[in-house]
Amino acid sequence: MIDRYTLPEMGRVWSDEHKYELWCRVETLVLEAHAAAGRVPADVVEPVRNAPPPTPARVAEIEETTQHDVIAFLTAWADNTEPRSAAAYVHHGMTSSDLLDTALAVQLTDATDVLLAKADRLVAALRDHGLAHRHTIKVGRTHGVHAEPDVWGHRVADLAFAMARSRDRLRRAREAVGVVAISGAVGTYSLIDPSVEVTVAVALQLRAADASTQVVLRDGISEWVSALAIIATVCEAIALEVRHGQRTEVRELSEAFGSGQKGSSAMPHKKNPIRSERIAGLARVVRAAIVPVMEGIPLWHERDISHSSTERVFLPDAAITTDYLLHLTAGLVENLVVDAERMRANL
- pLDDT tens sequence across 124-183: 999 999 999 999 999 999 999 999 999 999 999 999 999 999 999 999 999 999 999 999
Give the C-alpha distances (Å, rounded to integers) separating 190 from 63, 97, 323, 327.
Answer: 28, 15, 41, 47
DSSP string, 225-236: HHHHHHHHHHHH
User: What was the pLDDT predicted at 114?
Assistant: 98
Same domain, 288 and 142: yes
85, 264, 306, 309: which is the annotated catalytic residue?
264
Answer yes or no: is 285 within a domain. Answer: yes
Same domain, 67 and 110: no
d(CA 201, CA 206): 5
Same domain, 5 and 110: no
Q: Tell me which of 76, 92, 108 is where a domain ends.
A: 92
Active site residue 143: yes
Same domain, 238 and 331: yes
Same domain, 154 and 11: no
Residues 285-341 have pLDDT tens digits of 999 999 999 999 999 998 888 888 999 999 999 999 999 999 999 999 999 999 999
Domain around 26: 1-92
User: What was the pLDDT predicted at 265?
Assistant: 81
Tally of domains in the chain: 2
Tell whether the model's pLDDT for residue 222 goes beyond 80.
yes
Active site residue 146: no
User: What was the pLDDT predicted at 213?
Assistant: 87
d(CA 71, CA 74): 5
Answer yes or no: is 200 within a domain. Answer: no
Answer yes or no: is 208 within a domain. Answer: no
Same domain, 286 and 164: yes
Same domain, 10 and 150: no
User: What was the pLDDT predicted at 268?
Assistant: 81
Q: What is the pTM of this model?
A: 0.94
d(CA 326, CA 115): 8
d(CA 223, CA 220): 5
Q: Tell me which of 92, 115, 144 is where a domain ends.
A: 92
User: What was the pLDDT predicted at 262?
Assistant: 78
d(CA 299, CA 186): 13
Tell whether the model's pLDDT for residue 270 goes beyond 90.
no
User: What was the pLDDT predicted at 266?
Assistant: 84
Answer yes or no: is 201 within a domain. Answer: no
**Residue 44 in 3-state DSSP?**
helix
Residues 25-56 have pLDDT tens digits of 999 999 999 999 999 999 999 999 999 999 99
Cis status, amide bond into 56, omega within 30 of 0: no
pLDDT range class, residue 346, cuts 50, 70, 90:
very high
Q: Tell me which of 92, 119, 151 is where a domain ends.
A: 92
